[in-house]
Structure 1
């Protein structure tokens, strides 16, 4: 069992363990780069891929279900943000927080970059936008990553299998 991230048939498929790795390294980068509402919302989508919350094999998203923006300039800026985040993650941004060398992370990021690069955001809004509202997001001050306010017991790193190394139970703060 695993999860898919992509667009239609062009996807990154990763096992449940691979999903944990992919989401952790991408969340660190997205959280470090986000500056505007769309970017924070995309970071929130990445944070929601936490299998500790959603269930093993129950996460993943289709890029076609993301509202990329109303104008060509907005859609291009959003896509460029995702590509910059993938690039930053590929440069091992904040990987020391992981406490382990993430297996296959670079291969997952390369494949996701291919998928995102080939994807053309549609001009119309999707029937269902998977990006969370800003009001549903928080920021874990301890780990400096976006988190889901709806699950306010800490971020992915506070709750994760390695969370005890970072002092679980400290909670999160709103951004």
Structure 2
């Protein structure tokens, strides 16, 4: 995803290239794609803008039918947790590129490590005029990753970025979920 100017047009493609990340991230942190945490359920939704607003492309089930999105499409990512906590949302492209898309400099002042979220409250990124998400290159399979923790201190360190794999820690202090989509060249 790439953020452009005050409208922050972010490219949510295989990699939501975000010039939004506030600091350089250099350390990979292996994370589970769908980590469970007692008492917490997470949901992710991907929406695409059509003539009448945004419509859902997938509601956490993109893995089954891989939502296909033309490069250049405006999209929104919505998420919800069933418990108060802190969240970060990342986009990862097929080449291993990553971008932190939430929190960002348009949603939070300073360098927030994670954004505070209230239980059962849906947060949508990319639906307003100040921060837009656009599907961008490269074409291919990408994923959106939601990382939730009970405290901000437990969030991913400022120098770290997530790499989907198998978390080596025995009982991670986070919950996570992902959805996948396919960015396609316009025909």
Same fold (TM over 0.5): no
Bigger strand share: 2
Q: Which has the higher contact order (CA 8 A, sep 6+)?
A: 2
TM-score, structure 1 normalization: 0.29
TM-score, structure 2 normalization: 0.28
